[in-house]
Amino acid sequence: MKNAIPTLATALLFGLTLPVANAQDASSASEHAHHAATAEVAAIDVPAATQAPVAVVEAFGKALAAGDFAAVESMLAPDVIILEAGGAERSRDEYLGHHAKSDAKFLSGVHSALMRRKARVDGNTAWVASESELHASKDGKPVTLLSTETMVLADSPEGWRIVHIHWSSRPKRGA
């Protein structure tokens, strides 16, 4: 599994947070896309009360893909815990000093199509669960991954901050 695309977590993470298709724009494509976007309408369940935390999730993905680490840092709580591929990064500093750069590099060449998203808010806590299809290239060959991402956010005086991320992905069968 060491030879998997940079990190499975990276693939998962960005599947949910890169520029994505939504109910109004089901075929949104990244400028870096190697394949056409999936022409399906994404299943979106994002009530009005969740729009602010969902906007943070989307901005986080865009900032990471662009390598804007100052913006990434501003959206993560200092004590964020990020779980992926059986591993854990237990703080914002640990993530920024470890996987963030490889995640950004990977994402810069990935096209992501959001397939499903559900978000909920309860008081000062929100969660956003996303399922995406990622189109990338490895060793000059196209690769399609199915990615899931869950982000938990806390509302603070500075606004919504990501306190937990869980990314998971796997190769799409039959792709």
Contact assessment for residue 134 and residue 147, using Cβ atoms and an 8 Å cutoff: yes
Q: What type of residue sits at position 26?
A: A
Q: pTM score, two decimals?
A: 0.78
Fold type of domain 8-171: Nuclear Transport Factor 2; Chain: A, (3.10.450)
Neighbours of 168 (CB within 10 A): 19
Mean pLDDT value of segment 66-72: 99
DSSP secondary structure, 104-169, as one string: HHHHTT-EEEEEEEEEEEETTEEEEEEEEEEEEEETTEEEEEEEEEEEEEEEETTEEEEEEEEEEE
Rounded average pLDDT over 110-135: 98
Query: Is a pLDDT exceeding 50 seen at residue 116?
Result: yes
Joined together, the tokens standing for residue 48 give: 């009005």
pLDDT over 70 at 18, yes or no: no
Mean pLDDT to the nearest integer, 25-38: 33
Sequence spans of domains, the chain: 8-171
Looking at residue 175, its pLDDT comes to 55
48-63 per-residue burial string, b: 16 or more CB within 10 A, e: under 16: eebeebbebbbbbbbb
